[in-house]
Amino acid sequence: MNPVIIDDTTQIFDGKKYRLYKGQRYFKRTDKRTSKSGIKYLHRAVWEYYNGEIPENKVIDHINRNRSDNRIENLRLATYKQNRKNVSPEFNKKCRKTILEYNSQDYGKWWQDEEKKKKRSEKLSLSWKNRPYITKKCLVCGKEFKVKHNVARYCSPMCRQVNYFEKGVRIWQRKTTK
């Protein structure tokens, strides 16, 4: 019994529906009864159906590198090292380039170059400028207010002070670093 392919994002195996969600790499389903995390991956379910439980420190590898091909003939039990070797040369090249860039002397030191510093500042300013407003509700007075970030909880400094006073803090002060 192999998984039945419904469409590009849905496959059915053993009477259960597995989905490929946007931005995800593997077909999965959520069920709190099947595992601790509640997530069951299709390739692992197929392997366990035919071969039993997956040993510790082992993974299921797609032999032809196609994560949508979850037939038992395309799956093998492998170590992490074996699984890592079964990648396309293009992906390997991309990873190697990223690792080399990350390990370079200049990585993450944008603040030391004035030109990079200015460019980053402009990029962040543009990001905040184009960010849409979010409508939130004040925790104290219940009034709706608009902000560009998701962490705001109060419509004004006065409401923030009222909330802190109720918690026993006399005067709210911003933390300063010296």
Residue 172 has pLDDT above 60, yes or no: no
Residue 77 has pLDDT above 80, yes or no: yes
Q: What is the mean pLDDT of residues 50-79?
A: 93
Six-digit token string for 28: 């999965």
pTM, rounded to two decimals: 0.54
* 78 confidence band (pLDDT: 50, 70, 90): very high
**What average pLDDT does the structure give for the chain?**
85
